[in-house]
Amino acid sequence: MPYTFVLVPPTDLSLKYVNESQRLFDDCNKDYRLTSDGTSSPHISIVQFDCESAEIAHTVWINMQRRLREENFQPFSPPFSGVAFVNGTGPYQETVWAELSVDRGEENSPIMRVHSIAVEVVQAFGLKLLNACGNRFRPHLTLARITMPKEIKAWSEDLCLNPGNFNLEFGESDEKWQYAKTLGAYS
């Protein structure tokens, strides 16, 4: 079963990402857009991993929280740097991912610190990582998977401004690797 560590926006700001995703991409494709029903919540994937045991996955989460406390990790505002359209691959090669890009910053930036810690924790259990890591890690918040229209509507700059402090959650991914179910929140 795929599991994931994700950064999520504050509840009171989450809906703005959902509303913009639906407003901008309603006519492009309804296959994947952010929703407010919990099936596709706004998030930034930090690490996705495969684990056959829910018990082991929960132990990974406990170790992740312990490491974050040791590092005095605090929720932070991700530095959004713009909107990207990334060509899909494999079963998604006919579509484009529309996403908010996040500036990785230096090795010790908050997003890279939480990513590095997550990779270390997961690898300590010998589990398979499912997403690009290290130098290949490209943090982003997916808005939708679309069929690119000939003309694309303009998006609100409010998506990148005042994002609030995202908090780390642990949960299950579905068969499309979407963050599907929250199993725990870092506190």
- Degrees to nearest 5, angle at CA 33 with 19 and 89: 145
Tens-digit pLDDT profile for residues 74-90: 999 999 999 998 888 88
Q: The pTM is what?
A: 0.80
Chain centre to alpha carbon of residue 40: 10
CA 144, 149, 155, 160 dihedral sign is positive
pLDDT at 30: 61
Tens-digit pLDDT profile for residues 111-122: 999 999 999 999
CATH superfamily of domain region 1-183 = Cyclic phosphodiesterase (3.90.1140.10)
**pLDDT higher than threshold 60 for residue 153:** no
Tens-digit pLDDT profile for residues 16-65: 998 888 888 877 766 777 877 767 789 999 999 999 999 999 999 999 99
Residues ≥6 apart with Cβ < 8 Å to 135: none
Closest CA to 154 of 16, 24, 15: 24
Domain boundaries, the chain: 1-183
Mean pLDDT, the chain, whole residue set = 89
